[in-house]
Structure 1
Amino acid sequence: MRGPNRRQMYAEQTRADLVTAARKLFVDNGFANTSVEAITGAAQVSKGTFYSHFPDKKAMFAGLYTELLQQVGALSDATCEAIRATGPDQPALTAVADLTHAFLRRTIDDPLHRELMAQAPSVLGEQYRHINDTVAQPPIERLLTALAERGELQPDVPVATVARLLLAGLCEGNQIIAAARNREEALTRTFHALTLLMSGVAADNISARG
């Protein structure tokens, strides 16, 4: 089987260079203040080359945001698999608290995560909800389903609705932390609030706190 030819390799590298340049510029300057010219200048390619890979910079942003949520989704699925491997005598709901904290922690530790999450609602509009619903929510539903199967959630919990509300809380939590003067304090408050919300759906003998 033939591997990629030189032209394909060049195209892939060019696309990667454009994405790398956009990541930095979206973080440093914001989406609105980043032009296609700035991206192509940083990547040292022509505007025509940009448009051969992306229809516009919004599509590039959407791709970066989708990739971010896919990474978080992979962490959620890994947590789900770990839960399924946990013995029945070991409560696993705290794994959701750990994942929640890790997501919120990225708001402080990862500038790209912070800025993409903060800018996505205004940049993407209705597409923001679509990406969240199709990329981010299903892994959360799978995680909650694994907990429900273990009896760690209330028996009448509507999993899809809780997943959507939890995702909304995580996204809003990013906004709160990103805008705070003291992000560490904001992280503590936001995490505490979300664990209290999760406690409401936990089975009576299970703690949602990590």
Structure 2
Amino acid sequence: MSEVKGGSRRDMYAALTRTAILDAARKLFVERGFDTTSVDDIARESQLSKGAVYHHFQDKQQVFAEVYLEAERIVMLEVAKAAAAPDLSPWDRAEAAAQQAISCYAADPDTRALLRQATSVLGSERTRELDATVAMPLIEGMLAELARVGELRPVNTDVAAQLVFRLLAEASMTVALAEHPEQLTEDVELVTFTMLRGLRAQPKS
């Protein structure tokens, strides 16, 4: 029994250490940027040794990938909440989710800062892979529901999911790169919704 308890304590300590590293790294990546933040900086900010950082992460790029992925998960949680709003039609839920995905970047400067750096740090393919990990299940589920209730045109839903994902990723990046993101959000939403509505089935006469 004591071994189990010891293992649990070790696991808890490891989880707390990992969280401290990621919290410190997020702060530094946002404030200083990836290029001017070193592993030594992350260790000092987290009040841990450099060895502790390397025990949990292969290198600084892996630390950034984890920080970025967690930021994207938080965005997707907000998107999922918007999509679960009661008393909305499936199509209105889809638009609410898309709107939330865009507005999250307009409202959160830290998440914008991470998104702006992601492609240069991780490469476009790896960034897209991480984004897809958190976003695609929701997009695929919503398109499947739209198809089920007859609100989606008869299209290949796998292709539609890929293209909707890319559209929303570009919309988010457009907001993240804007000098005044909150001012641009309305225009980005208008264009995004206009394009998405091309997938909507025409009402039966």
* 1-structure distance, mates of 2:107, 2:77: 19
Q: Does 1:24 align with 2:27?
A: yes
Q: Which runs of 5+ in 1 are unaligned?
A: none
Give 1:174 deviation, angstroms.
Answer: 2.2
Q: Does 1:140 align with 2:139?
A: yes
* 2-structure distance, mates of 1:69, 1:160: 22
Judging changes above 3 Å, is the alpha-carbon distance between structure 1 residues 75 and 184 closer, same or farther for their aligned structure 2 residues? closer
Q: Is contact 2:39-2:50 (8 Å) kept?
A: yes
* Superposition RMSD in Å: 2.5
Residue 92 of structure 1 corresponds to 90
Aligned ranges 1:33-182 → 2 under 5 Å: 33-75=36-78, 82=84, 91-125=89-123, 126-154=125-153, 156-182=154-180
* 2-structure distance, mates of 1:178, 1:74: 19
Runs ≥4 residues deviating over 6 A:
none
Q: Is contact 1:15-1:53 (8 Å) kept?
A: yes
* 2-structure distance, mates of 1:79, 1:108: 16
Give 1:175 deviation, angstroms.
Answer: 2.1
| Range with greater deviation from structure 2 (2-11 or 183-192) | 2-11
* 1-structure distance, mates of 2:10, 2:149: 52
With normalisation by structure 1, the TM-score equals 0.83
Which structure has the highest helix share of the two? 2
* 1-structure distance, mates of 2:131, 2:186: 24
* 1-structure distance, mates of 2:26, 2:44: 14
Give 1:181 deviation, angstroms.
Answer: 2.6
* 2-structure distance, mates of 1:151, 1:120: 37
Q: Is contact 2:118-2:127 (8 Å) kept?
A: yes
* 2-structure distance, mates of 1:79, 1:178: 20
**Residues 79-134 of structure 1, C-alpha deviation per residue, up to 9 Å, x if partnerless?**
66x48x86xxx632111111111111111222232122222222111322322334
Percent identity of equivalent pairs: 35
With normalisation by structure 2, the TM-score equals 0.85
Give 1:68 deviation, angstroms.
Answer: 3.1
What amino acid maps onto 2:146 in structure 1? L
Give 1:76 deviation, angstroms.
Answer: 5.2
